[in-house]
Every structure is written in structure tokens, then in C-alpha cells.
Chains A and B, each alone.
Chain A
Amino acid sequence: MHQTFDAALGIDLLHVNQTGADHNRAHFDAWGITCMNVMSSPGAGKTALLERTLESLHQELAIAVIEGDMTTELDADRLRQYGVPVIAINTGRSCHLDAKMVAGGIHTLEHSYDPNALDLVLVENVGNLVCPAEFEVGEHLKVALLSVTEGEDKPLKYPIMFQEADCLLITKVDLAPYLDVSLEQIAANVRQMNPHVTIIPVSAKTGEGLEEWFGWVRSRSVATGESRSVATGESRSASAEESRRHAHA
């Protein structure tokens, strides 16, 4: 006969990752960098969007990219031609970036470049609608992409990523006329769970909507924004934090 004892732990499963993400964010803050975590399913157009973004903004904002890719450097090579620092992180079989992997990228940034001179770090996450949403990497803002070919119901079926996004880009809108898809319905589905999100329909191919996206990036970046603390992003992520903590209480 043995007696059983009970010990209360009450520890968040993602505690280690969260601590790492907070540490990364502290680095970005110290260097005056705004960090955006760009997430979507595979093929929604993250790299194409970043190409257009670097092309148009790299003269006015000092940008670096941390590029998550499961096995290759194909995406990183596409972005390097714009002359900005691109740090490739191969995630191996892991289907998302986590805080520790991005910390490795930050380490490279610190030793091979001058992080104080940077305004903006764009993290291109691994293409996946599920896992990246649970692993913060130290970003100030979350950007989600949904291409029109994915359909209106994806935000309902994969809600976490869309619920926490600060900006949603509906991509490949040049294809919309050929599809039975309603941009209004996509927007309505996302707003059901995220009333504060900025929604911008874009096409990297035709350039539609890109000026509005660039404007959003500018206004949230330290160099050109008034102050990041007044940008909606910070209050949003703070409230997401709070709701999470609240749920854990």
C-alpha cells in the first residue's frame, strides 16, 4: 500500500518559449527595432509580399529579414537580391519558428550587422496555419496572409492565427474575378473573432493594395511612426497577453 501525494505546479506549457520571446522582444526594443511575424499557409504569398515590400521600402526603412524555411534557402535567396540582411533559419522538421530559433537569428544579426541601425525586422514564418500561432517569437505585431484561393472559411477553421493577427492581408486578389469567393465574407469571418484587425486586400502581382500595406508598415515602424506604444499593435498584443493570462488564472 502506498500513499499518493499531489503537487500543484500551475505552469504554462509554453512558459519556456514565452520567456524566450520576451527576451527577443527586449533585444528589439533596446535596438529600436519593430518586429513583425509574417504567417500564413504555404503558398499564400509571404515571400512575394516581402519581395515587393523590400523593393519599395528598403530605401526609407532599414529592414532585415529572418527567414524560416523547413529545409531550403530558396526563399532567402529570393530576398537577398534586394540588398538587405536575410538570415535563413532552417527549422528542419519543425513546422514553425520558435523563440529559440529566432534568438539564433538575432545573434547573427548582432554579430554580423549593426542592429542599432535597423528599423524593422520581418520574420517570415514557416508556411503553416496552425502551429506558428501558438509560438511567439518576440514580435511586436502579427501579420497574417490569406490568399483568395484558400476560401472564405479558413479563418473559421483555423481561428487562432486570425484571432491574434494585427493585420490581415487578403492576397492574390487579382485572381478573385475567376473564383467564387467573396472578400467581404473573408473579412466578416475574421472580424467575428478579431474586431480590431486591419484588413488589406492586396496583389503582389498587380500592386493593388500595396500602398496601403506599406503605409501600415511605415506607421508601425519606429523610425517613421510617432511612437510604437500608441500604435494599435502594442495594445492589441498586450490585451492578447492579458486574455491569455486571464484564461490561465
Chain B
Amino acid sequence: MHETDMTKALILTVRDWWEAQPGQPAIEKVHLTVGKFTCVEPVSLQFAFEVQTKGTFLDEAELVIRETSLIAFCHPCQAEYQPEIGLQYACPTCKAPMDDIRSGRELKIDRVEYAEVEVPHT
């Protein structure tokens, strides 16, 4: 369950940002990019996020995960291709090994959406 550790890191990072904001706005959504060529399972991450944010400043926040495909660049063919994870990583055209990954290794907190802090009118 390394998704638990990943979620811990996620919460700490967002908290750092949140604490630096004036008035600590209510966070509505946290957007993540998770590459398909990582050891992270989005469903487990969603579950861990739900459990670990209970009763915290992220209790009401929704975790939005955007997955990115594994894309490699084949130098002999000078072309991108999508390796089939679990089956085939070499270039389907020339069989050259996968040696240059262009996408799919991302594990990134992209952005947060938050509500405006209500300023009480006098």
C-alpha cells in the first residue's frame, strides 16, 4: 500500500500551499497527473485520499486524477509509439528496445481549485 505514503506526501504538499494562503480558502478539488507507467493505482489512491483526509482541511475536497499513457520515442524510426504495458515494450515497427520515455512516468500535483474566502461585509 504505497498509495498511503503517496497520499501522505500529497496532503503535506497541499497543506504547505494552503497554510501560505491568506484566510486558508476551502479547497474543492485537487488535480493529479498519474502516469500509467508508474506503480500507482488510481483507485487505491482515491481510497487512501478519502480515508486519510477525513476530518482534515481536505475533508470536502475531491481528488481528480488524470492518467497519462505510456509514450516512448523510437530513435531508429524517429517516431513515437505506445508500448503495451505488461506485454510489449519494444518498438512495434523495428523492435528496438524502449529507451526514451516521453510520457507515462508522471506523479504530479497539478493544481488545486478553491473557493473565494468570504470577506464579511460591515
Is the Cβ of A9 less than 8 Å from the Cβ of B112? yes
B39 interface neighbour in A5, A7, A130, A247, Cβ under 8 Å: A130
| Residues of B with C-beta under 8 A to A16 | 9, 12-13
Give the secondary structure class of B's interface: mixed
B28 in the interface (beta carbon within 8 A): yes
User: Which residue of chain B is the closest to A196 with respect to CB atoms?
Assistant: B99
Please count how many residues in chain B sit with their CB below 8 Å of the partner chain's CB atoms. 46
Residues of A within 8 A of B99 (CB): 195
**Chain A 84-123 interface mask (CB, 8 Å, partner B; 1/0):** 0000000001111010000000000000000000000000
The reply to whether A15 and B98 form a contact with Cβ atoms under 8 Å apart is: no
Taking a contact as CB atoms under 8 Å apart, the answer to whether A131 and B39 are in contact is yes
A-B contacts counted at CB < 8 A amount to 122
Question: Is A134 an interface position by the 8 A CB rule?
Answer: yes
Which residues of B lie under 8 Å from residue A13 when comparing CB positions? 6, 9-10, 13, 32, 107-109
Q: Is the C-beta of A23 less than 8 angstroms from some C-beta in chain B?
A: no
**Distance, CA A248 to CA B9, complexed state (A):** 17
Interface flags, B1-40, vs A, CB<8A=1, else 0: 1100110011011100100000001001000100101111
**Which chain B positions have C-beta within 8 A of A7?**
17, 111-112, 114
- For B71, the closest partner residue in chain A by CB is A247
Given the known interface contacts A4-B113, A12-B108, A13-B108, the answer about A192 and B98 at a Cβ–Cβ threshold of 8 Å is yes
Q: Say yes or no: is A216 at the interface (Cβ < 8 Å to chain B).
A: no
- Which residues of B sit under 8 angstroms from A26, Cβ to Cβ? none
- Is A6 an interface residue when CB atoms closer than 8 A count as contact? yes
Tell whether B87 is near chain A: CB-to-CB under 8 Å.
yes
What does DSSP make chain A's interface, helix, strand, loop or mixed?
A: mixed
Nearest to A17 among chain B residues (CB) is B9
- A177 sits at the interface (CB 8 A): no
Question: In the bound complex, do residue B17 and residue A9 qualify as a contact, i.e. CB atoms below 8 Å apart?
Answer: yes
B106 in contact with A248 (CB, 8 Å): yes
Docked CA distance A186–B111 (Å): 41
Q: How far is the CA of A13 from the CA of B89 in the complex (A)?
A: 25
Chain A interface size band reads 35 or more
Q: How far is the CA of A96 from the CA of B9 in the complex (A)?
A: 15
Q: Does A137 contact B (CB under 8 A)?
A: no
Binary B-proximity of A1-37 (CB < 8 A = 1, otherwise 0): 0111111111111111100000000000000000000
Shortest beta-carbon distance from A242 to chain B in Å: 10
Contact check, B13 vs A11: say whether CB atoms are below 8 A apart. Answer: yes
Binding site for B on A (CB under 8 A): 2-17, 93-96, 98, 130-131, 133-135, 156-157, 159-160, 163, 191-195, 243-244, 246-248
Shortest Cβ-Cβ A-B pairs, 3 listed: A195-B97, A131-B2, A193-B89
A-B pairs with beta carbons under 8 Å apart, 7 shown: A4-B113, A5-B116, A15-B9, A134-B38, A134-B40, A159-B37, A194-B97
